[in-house]
Amino acid sequence: MNRVTRWRLAMRLLARDWRAGELRILGAAIVIAVAASTAIGFFTDRLGRGMINQSADFLGADLVLESPRPVRTQWLAEARDTGLRTSETLEFSSVLVVGDRLQLASVRAVDAGFPLRGRLRTAAGPFLTDAEDVTTPAAGEAWAAPRLLTRLGLNSGDTLAVGKQSLVIAKVLTFEPGEAGSPFGLAPRLLMNLADVPATGVVQPGSRLTYHYLFAGSEQDIARYRGWLKSRLGPSHRLVGVQEGRRAVGTALERAERFLGLAVMAAIVLAGVAIAMAARRYSERHFDMSAMLRCLGATQRDLLELYLAQLLVLGLLASAAGCLLGWLAQQGLLVLLADLLPMAPSAPRAWPLLAGLFTGLVVLAGFALPPVLRLKRVPPLRVLRRDLSPLPGNAWLVYGAAVTAVVLLMWRYTDNAKLTLAALAGGAAALVVLGVLGFVLLALGRRLHTRVGVAWRFGLNNLWRRRRTSVSQILAFGLALMAMAVIALVRSDLLTTWESQLPVDVPNHFAINILPDQVEAVRGFMDAREVPTTQIYPMVRGRLVSINDEPVRQAVTKEAQSDNALNRELNFTWTTELQEDNRIVNGRWWRSGDSGRPLVSVESKLAERLGIELDDELGFTVGDERFSARVASIRSVQWDSFRPNFYMVFPPAVIERFPATYMTSFYLPPGDKPMLIELVRNYPALTVLEMDLIIAQVERIFRQVTLAVEYVLLFVLLAGFAVLFAALQASLDERLYEGALLRALGASRRQLRSGHLAEFITLGALAGLVAAIGTECIAWVLYSQVLHFDYSFKWPVWVAAPLLGAVLIGAAGYRGTRPVVERSPALLLREG
Amino acid sequence: MVAASGLSKRVATAAGPLDILADIDLQIHAGEAVAIVGVSGSGKSTLLGLLAGLDLPSSGDVRLAGHHMNALDEDGRAQVRGELVGFVFQSFQLLSGLTALENVMLPLELANTSAPRLQATGLLERVGLAERLTHYPKQLSGGEQQRVAIARAFSMQPAILFADEPTGNLDSSTGETIIDLLFELNHEHHATLVLVTHDEALAGRCERRIRLEAGRVVEPDGTA
Ligand SMILES: Nc1ncnc2c1ncn2[C@@H]1O[C@H](COP(=O)(O)OP(=O)(O)O)[C@@H](O)[C@H]1O
Ligand SMILES: [Mg+2]
């Protein structure tokens, strides 16, 4: 047969199969697979870019270049040529003098374009209600942070002088993109117009200046420009993109992204299961066709090409339909979420469509190819002896192909080698273990069968008689249930973590620079107004100078030498009580006798970066004085919890001799803001940092990510149910045939029905049990290696999965075998 | 046309090796109609499978129209089958997903002949199923299904037709009409016919019979 003939025949056969309904289940499985992964892929892509946009709002731009000197004009021209919008700001410190009051301010001079992303927020006076502001300070104007005004005793409308230039305070600045980094140690902000800078006279040779060049544009343009710029940067330049600029919500978003990646994987595994089951059925139903074709003179090669051509075309058509469906589903989702999602999701891109097509074909190749390859080995003698079937596919080929497909897709979707490898190893081990386990469970179930009623005996016997098939069905359903369970589990732990990270009364203000003799007074002030504060911590600023008597720069690795912690002063504190969200990961917390002993507890990330270990001797300086302390514990800190946190914590009476200021954080509802004016007036040295706007923004992001996670869960569950049903459908043939035979032999309808019910309930419960075991293992790996959650035994899964399996598969199987009693046995046997 | 010498078939079973066929010699000439008879289980179908090149003997040799079937690989045998051989089976072996017409078209399409639909329609008309072209096998009676199978067997103008108990699943009067049809078509196409049956009356319609008993030929009448 030549190739053209083969293709023509293949297409005819495909069309006939389609018409005869032979392709329904396989086709549906592919469509579901592709639709689910496309929908989630689309959604994740758009949401992910939405999040990046939001991070850009935080940063004020898509890309920021920081430099101590003006950069070459050519660099900016290049940016504009690339199609980017640009803005330029200049930052410097300046001491402002009003009457007899002095205050260091951090001045930022901006052009009219600032900020390129996000919005400034301003208010008419200090601590008054604020709103978004699309303008920037006009020439001759200044916008000042509330604490600058309270320090200087000014109000809006007053004038102040920056250098030689006097400016009118036009507005109070409450929020500025790009300032979300570390709020500590910053002098209060004054915003002014770039055009006024020359008149101030502050730009002199040798003055400390920071230029910021902001860029915004399409993702591709930014990437292109970034690439162009990178090779030209000098050592004093710093480039900050949205990825680097989103620390405030970093871990939350990272986890959300991993969750979405996991969800896509779950959808793919589900799809694989459905396709494998459907392809197996397809293959078995084509044994006769293959035998006949070979009897009629077709070679093995003919058969191979005939089936591959059909599979390819079916795969392409079904994947295309799946892509379309997935796109529609995602579109519908966005419409549904339009009111709930505060941000506008960005426009769709084409790649998820291609990815969907790719996914469909890879899953098809991995899961459907092995059973279909069996078809070419059907012996022609089958036409004389019906019982002759081709040898079952080589297990290595079957599972190898499936695992390869999953790994390929996983790698493609998560871009995470560690995750992929973990999943690969886990998956392979799990398949073997679960397969054996399924077998053992089946054998155990069978031992029960003398002690149960006749229906159960029939059901259990059926399962045992077909134990090979039964085990593979338990595995398949178990995998599907597992995919659903893992996603459901991760979702709820994700949400719990976020809720605990930002409880309703998370401190949204910091009070720093509280003088020692004012601590009691400030505490009294807060208590009188029923403002809940966290503990009041002493704060001593000092440097880490040596590790085990070696100067710190020599003691650490090369990469760590430029670590910020070595280049600036760190915050030290002392306390007896471990902060709520801190955990000791190594060593021990203070005991009663530790007071006055030279011990220190080190934050775990810093310890890791600098290679500090338990019992190391650390040398510190505070002011001019040196002292040392032994590392008694390594402590993990939740930096995004918006509570006071410290790198170095000492026991009492070790650093108490150094001058300290105190700090605390507290929650203030929006209506109570005017209290701050009073606080600052009473204690002029004290500084209030307002975190409420940043927290509100983080909350908003959490809220919408939560929503997305919920919807994706719903998607996975829907896909899971669809897949379970399709897979079940594929396993019904044999049961229908046998049922008809038994009816013909005189079995009552009732007997058959309850027998089938028992069979499917058992199948579902065993699959659920297998799923629970798999889920537990996967959760352990995921939590400890990928998501960095605390792992605890997931007992609800052990209850829910077998129960759900029994109910779902029991019900669907019961429904699926209904034709046994609804149609005449003769008809069924004839169709068999 | 068909020649076997020293043909035996031995299979491994749970109870040890089993000789299904032992030392069979036979010759069937072009244009002849030969019946292979014997009780159920005597090895008739196994012999037919070997003669038609669907299976390989444990020892001995089969020649089909000059081709040494042992010397060919499975694909080579498939080619010989495709060119020379037609089959009719006891259980019809129609493909359930294809209509009557499509079942008959299949070998024509496989061989890439021109106008397979026209030819197949003609054949189905010839076997009296002009009205049933688009019916699926399950919508046809046993006799009708076997007619479709006969039309399919003759679609490629085979030089040899192998029929394995073609009336085994049919009542006697339907069986008779089927056999009449088979012989008529065989005559029209000048094909060699190898008919396996346990029905002596049916065997009587052939020019010659070869009797099998427990895997051996016992009545080699008319050895050439
Ligand atoms: N592959 C095999 N394995 C075991 N026994 C077989 C095999 N093939 C055929 N037989 C046995 O050989 C005997 C002859 O079978 P067959 O040729 O089908 O007989 P007939 O067609 O004459 O009824 C039967 O008893 C059958 O069970
Ligand atoms: Mg037989």
* Domain residue extents for chain B: 2-218
Distance separating alpha carbons of residues A183 and B73, to the nearest angstrom: 81
* B2-218 under CATH 3.40.50.300, yes or no: yes
C-beta separation of A768 from A804 below 8 A: yes
Q: Which A positions 5-34 lie with beta carbon below 8 A of chain B?
A: 5, 8-9, 12, 16-17, 20, 22
pLDDT of B151 reads: 94
Q: What is the largest CA-CA distance in chain A?
A: 111
C-beta separation of A656 from A574 below 8 A: yes
Domain count, chain A: 4
What residues of B are in contact with residue A16 (Cβ under 8 Å)? 97-99, 102
Is B102 near chain A, with CB under 8 Å? yes
Task: Identify which of B54, B82, B109 has the shortest CB distance to residue A12.
Answer: B109
Task: Identify which of B87, B91, B98 has the shortest CB distance to residue A295.
Answer: B87
Residues A127 and A264 reside in one and the same domain: no
Q: pTM for the complete prediction?
A: 0.69
Q: Give mean pLDDT, residues B170-181.
A: 89
pLDDT of B220 reads: 54
Distance separating alpha carbons of residues A455 and A758, to the nearest angstrom: 7
How far the first Cα of chain A sits from its last, in Å, is 31
Residues A587 and A733 reside in one and the same domain: no
Is A482 a domain residue?
yes
pLDDT of A610 reads: 87
Query: Token match 């036009």: residue?
Result: A170
Is A676 a domain residue?
no
Radius of gyration, CA atoms only, chain B: 17
pLDDT of A629 reads: 94
CA A3 centroid distance within chain? 48
Q: Give mean pLDDT, residues B67-84.
A: 88
CA of B87 to nearest chain A CA: how many angstroms apart?
Answer: 8
Q: Tell me the pairing of strands A120-123 and A141-144.
A: unpaired
Query: Token match 């650490």: residue?
Result: A556
The token duo for A394 is 């080589």
Is A289 near chain B, with CB under 8 Å? yes
Q: Which B positions 47-86 lie with beta carbon below 8 A of chain A?
A: 48-49, 54-55, 74-75, 78-83
Segment A558-591, tens digit of pLDDT: 766 666 667 677 889 998 888 877 889 999 999 9
Give the residue from A248, A275, A302 where a domain finishes: A248
CB contact under 8 A, A831 and B138: yes
Residues A34 and A77 reside in one and the same domain: no
Q: Give mean pLDDT, residues B67-93.
A: 88
The token duo for A630 is 């032994």
Residue with CA at minimum distance from ligand 1 atom 10: B20
Residues A265 and A376 reside in one and the same domain: yes
Could you write out the three-class secondary structure of A528-549?
HCCCCECCCEEEEEEEEEEECC
Give the residue from A233, A248, A263 where a domain finishes: A248
What residues of A are in contact with residue B138 (Cβ under 8 Å)? 830-831
Provide the 10 A C-beta neighbour count for residue A725.
Answer: 20
Residues A194 and A103 reside in one and the same domain: yes
Nearest chain A residue (CA) to B102: A16
Residue ranges for chain A with pLDDT beneath 50: 180-185, 245, 342, 832
Task: Identify which of A9, A289, A301 has the shortest CB distance to residue B95.
Answer: A289
Residues A763 and A649 reside in one and the same domain: no
Is A514 a domain residue?
no
Is A684 a domain residue?
no
Residues A641 and A707 reside in one and the same domain: no
pLDDT of A193 reads: 94
pLDDT of B201 reads: 84
**Mutate which of B20, B69, B75 to disrupt the A interface (most A C-beta within 10 Å)?**
B75
Is A515 a domain residue?
no
Residues in chain A: 832
CA dihedral A377, A379, A385, A388 (to 10 degrees): -30
Handedness of CA A524, A528, A530, A531 (dihedral sign): negative
Is A410 a domain residue?
yes
The token duo for A127 is 């601590």
Ligand 1, from B46, B47, B54: best to mutate by most atoms within 8 Å of Cβ?
B46
CA of A383 to nearest chain B CA: how many angstroms apart?
Answer: 7
Is A675 a domain residue?
no
Burial readout A649-678 (b: 16 or more C-beta within 10 A, e: otherwise): bbbeebbeebebbbbbbbbbeeeebebbbe
Segment A470-521, tens digit of pLDDT: 888 888 888 888 888 888 888 888 888 777 767 777 788 888 888 888 899 9
Nearest chain B residue (CA) to A294: B78
Radius of gyration, CA atoms only, chain A: 34
Residues A197 and A144 reside in one and the same domain: yes
pLDDT of A183 reads: 46
Residues A788 and A803 reside in one and the same domain: yes
pLDDT of A51 reads: 66
**Mutate which of A286, A384, A386, A388 to disrupt the B interface (most B C-beta within 10 Å)?**
A384
pLDDT of A419 reads: 67
Residues A235 and A276 reside in one and the same domain: no
- A694 against B194, higher pLDDT: B194
Residues A270 and A162 reside in one and the same domain: no
pLDDT of A449 reads: 66
How does DSSP assign A716-775, residue by residue?
A: HHHHHHHHHHHHHHHTHHHHHHHHHHHHHTT--HHHHHHHHHHHHHHHHHHHHHHHHHHH
C-beta separation of A95 from A78 below 8 A: no
C-beta separation of A534 from A665 below 8 A: yes
- All residues at 6 or more sequence positions from B7 whose CB lies less than 8 Å from its CB, including other chains: B21, B23, B24, B25, B47, B50, B57, B59, B60, B61, B62
Is A517 a domain residue?
no
C-beta separation of B219 from B26 below 8 A: no
Query: Hey, which residues does A96 pair with through a beta bridge?
Result: A103
Residue numbers of the domain that contains A9: 1-51+255-415
